[in-house]
Amino acid sequence: MSIDSVSDLWDTLLGAQPDPPGLLVLVTAVIALVVVSFRPLWRVARNAITIAHEGGHALVALLTGRKLRGIRLEFDTSGLTLSAGRPTGPGMMFTLLAGYIAPSLVGLGGAWLLGGNRITLLLWLAVVLLLLMLINIRNVFGAVSVLVTGAIVFGVSWYASAQVQAAFAYVGVWFLLIGGVRPVFELQKLRGRGRMPESDADQLAGITHVPAIFWVGVFLVVDLAALVVGAFMLAGQWLPAVSNTP
């Protein structure tokens, strides 16, 4: 690859794309909301939330000095991240805390990038993160799930037009922001039925001696805050575009 090619690639990666069409932000928000709300679609798309959830556990485990043992993603959209280290203390606490807030925080970061029209950069960062996660996947379905997701994101970033890239990126970010909230309600519903005695919230309760419902509340507050802030960021893209539409 020539120097000019590397320079062009770098400019493409870091450069800002054109402002989105007037109604793109609104339409993609509606699409994401439908996917999250319609159960058959949600059951498939929820794998992306699980990938972000387990990726959050894994990243925070490494940042807090724990040793990552591996990640499993299951067909029923559940997941498991194993790390070695002290079973109590701040490292374990933050690792457990990260899962249910990770999709929403990733979505918030994506909204910030979209606010600067860094659509290509957002897509390529997603590919890099998925490749890093793939290294630590320890089951076949998980590997296939991450590979397929990464291939779709890479294909859009490399071959699709700017308009398709923008629509894909906005749907993805809206989906993470909106979809990050639903699993918290699902968690509490399953806990109420006694079907998740070892949930992240219950494990946090065990090591902090603070009731599990408090941690469920923390998950929900963080996710809702990310949704509100992210929505304002994305709305900031929509309003000027609408006002400039002839």
Q: Is residue 83 within 8 Å of 111, Cβ to Cβ? A: no
pLDDT at 196: 87
**pTM for this model (two decimals):** 0.91
- pLDDT above 70 (res 234): yes
pLDDT at 238: 59
What proportion of the chain, given as a percentage, has pLDDT over 90?
A: 78
- pLDDT above 90 (res 237): no
Structure tokens at 246: 């002839």
Q: What is the mean pLDDT of residues 22-29?
A: 89
Q: What 3-state DSSP class applies to 223?
A: helix
The residue with greater pLDDT, 244 or 182, is 182
pLDDT digits (tens, 9 = 90+) for 175-189: 999 999 999 999 999
Q: Is residue 17 within 8 Å of 166, Cβ to Cβ? A: yes
Q: What is the mean pLDDT of residues 24-49?
A: 95
Structure tokens at 178: 């909106």
Q: Is residue 167 within 8 Å of 224, Cβ to Cβ? A: no
- pLDDT above 50 (res 1): no
Whole-angstrom distance, CA of residue 181 vs CA of residue 179: 5
Pairing of β 79-84 and β 67-73: antiparallel
Q: What is the mean pLDDT of residues 39-61?
A: 96
Q: Is residue 25 within 8 Å of 236, Cβ to Cβ? A: no
Whole-angstrom distance, CA of residue 137 vs CA of residue 244: 46
HEC sequence for 71-118: EEECCCCCEEEEEECCCCCHHHHHHHHHHHHHHHHHHHHHHHHHHCCC
pLDDT digits (tens, 9 = 90+) for 77-100: 999 999 999 999 999 999 999 999
Phi-psi region of 77 (alpha: psi -120 to 50; beta: other; left: phi over 0): left
pLDDT digits (tens, 9 = 90+) for 99-147: 999 999 999 999 999 988 889 899 999 999 999 999 999 999 999 999 9
Q: Which amino acid is at 31?
A: I
The residue with greater pLDDT, 197 or 94, is 94
Whole-angstrom distance, CA of residue 233 vs CA of residue 172: 15
Structure tokens at 244: 């400039």
Q: Which residue carries 């000019």 as its tokens?
A: 4
* Average per-residue pLDDT for the chain: 90
